A and B are shown apart, each in its own frame.
Chain A
Amino acid sequence: MTALEAGSAAPLSVWARLLRRPLAVAGLVVIVVTVLAAVLAPWITPYPPDQQFFDGLTIEGAPLPPNGQYLFGTDLLGRDLLSRLVFGAQTSLLIGVVANGIAVLIGATIGILAGYFRGFIGAVLMRFTDLMMAFPALLLAIVLAATFKPSLWIVALVIAMVNWVQIARVIFTETRSLAERDFVVAERSLGAGSGRILTRHILPHLVPTLLVYSTLGISTTVLLEATLSYLGVGVQPPTPSWGNIIFENQTYFSSAPWLVFIPGVAIIVLALAFNLVGDALRDVLDPTQQGHH
């Protein structure tokens, strides 16, 4: 049996190995803190996220920079940025995880089928992937915005539609080269069925890549959600999400930089955390793969 099978047969040691990597631990901490903050938001925020305070703006109507009363400052309507940020984590996390999850599922399925079966099926699936890569997702978003009530599920759907393509392509290439490997050819010649080969030999080698990719798209997803909200799909004002806080304040980046950079840093840190954890998981699950792809 391969080193891979030996490693994954002992989940406890996976955790232990993971926790020995400082970067992965840092990532995990960030993720856990964010999830907790999102869940406990109504109880831990100093102010309600939607309340527009009269003293949250200067006399001329300018937002306040971070100060004693409003730790992260206020936005252009006098609302507390910290509270909005914490509540916004709910939307961003939900979208990031759900949309990416769906994307990975679809992308992996199509990539594996195309890469393993090749031939006509493979060609059709790959050309379908090309089609979807060029698909005007933003356009679909406007049509949906005009037709349906705004909802996070539509956003997740549109984002998943955009993101699965990249995953499919990469998985396709990997599956393709894996399928040609000696041991797979050997198994086939021994009469093993496709199902068995796929699950016991190909899939495990793909897990590391899949892990990496499921964490990779998170930051683009968050911003994409903001664009879609702007176009009328997804969360509508006054509901906050990290992406739409940045989006609605983008022109103020030189006069009220905290409105753009604090949520921006939050997105980067969270995405980084996911990526570090994903990367570490990949390393831990398949040490022989280090240096390949």
Chain B
Amino acid sequence: MPLYIVRRLLQSLLILFGITVVTFILLYLLPADPVRQIAGRSATAATVESIRHQLGLDLPLYQQYGRYLWGLLHGDLGRSYLQKTDVATLIWSRLPATLLLMVGAIACELALGLTMGLFAALKRGSALDQGLMLISFVGVSAPQFVVGILLLYVFAVQLGWFPIGGYGHFSNLVLPALTLGFLGAGWYSRMMRSSMIDVLRQDYVRTARSKGLSRARVLFGHAVPNAILPIVAMIGIDIGVFMSGIVVVESVFGWPGIGQLAWQAIQRVDIPIIMGVTLISALAIVLGNLLADLVTPLIDPRIKLQ
């Protein structure tokens, strides 16, 4: 097992390295000239070239990449052309907000998804089952952008139960977390339902009932814990899905996380920030996948680790 972890970690490093190369090349291909943006419109050609030289942007591509990599190893993610701040500082200051949002979303999707799935399984075939599954379908089908604006409009603008976007209070977290988690809730409720149905059919459940254990105890002591396992294994993958979701959700609600930062940077073609955020998100995804891959075999012993 430890050998497997080490191997996966090394592979992950390789992936991150690959991402930096790909991103760097893509940004290099952009016709937009960052130096022109920094130099401003009144700059003479001489000024522009001088700035270009100072930033090292007149060096060959591989040298520029080498410098960037060297900086990375020292924790320096470069400096934003437009915001005149270190990228690392910008990301660091916004990371807590995004982490908070992700935790909130995971809480929402587990709470909603597991509950819906449980009741659907228990009342299998009934109208409740069908209704809950329809809701979960909507969750999976609805674009997060639309869900976000809908929730904002109904609960914040019209009913006034929640603030309209913003950050700082628990009440600010509710709507964005719901929006981000609604998709996962849809997934999880269906997974939970089929997982529960599976588990309830198992022999050990019938054995437990025949031993005289109460329904509740069988349910919560044996069935549910077993049913939840495959779902928990998927949480790691969620992180990857979230990474694209936060760009949308943070922009709709004005949540000051790295998703908002990424979207602004993409719109303004602020290259250092784009690189920095891409890296961080790649890191999160890679770690999330690793986590999921490590947990899954623990749950299904038939799958051997390689």
Contact = CB atoms under 8 A, between A and B. Distances in A.
A adjacent to B, CB under 8 Å: yes
Interface stretch (A54-62, A81-89, A101-109, A269-277): A269-277
Interface string B149-174: 11011000100000000000000000
A16 interface: no
Which label, helix, strand, loop or mixed, suits the secondary structure of the A interface?
A: helix
Interface in A127-157: 127, 130-131, 133-136, 138-140, 142-143, 146-147
Contact count band on B: 35 or more
A254 B274 CA distance: 31
A133 B11 contact: no
A223 B15 contact: no
Contacts of B143: 219-220, 222-223, 264, 267-268, 271
Contacts of A177: 300, 302-303
B27 interface: yes
Contact of A261 (B137, B140, B150): B150
B149 A260 contact: yes
Contacts of A220: 143-144
Nearest to B263: A138
A268 B282 contact: no
A169 interface: yes
Given A135-B22, A165-B240, 18 more contacts: A122-B306, A127-B11, A127-B15, A130-B286, A134-B15, A134-B285, A142-B266, A142-B269, A220-B143, A220-B144, A223-B145, A246-B146, A247-B145, A253-B153, A261-B150, A264-B146, A291-B201, A293-B191
Interface of A: 23, 118-119, 122-123, 127, 130-131, 133-136, 138-140, 142-143, 146-147, 162, 165-166, 169, 173, 176-177, 180, 216, 218-220, 222-223, 231, 246-247, 250, 253-254, 257, 260-261, 264, 267-268, 271-272, 274-276, 279, 290-293
Interface of B: 11-12, 14-15, 18-19, 22-23, 26-27, 29-32, 130, 134, 137-138, 140-146, 149-150, 152-153, 157, 191, 194, 197-198, 201, 237, 240-241, 243-244, 247-248, 252, 266, 269, 274, 278, 281-282, 285-286, 289, 296, 300, 302-304, 306
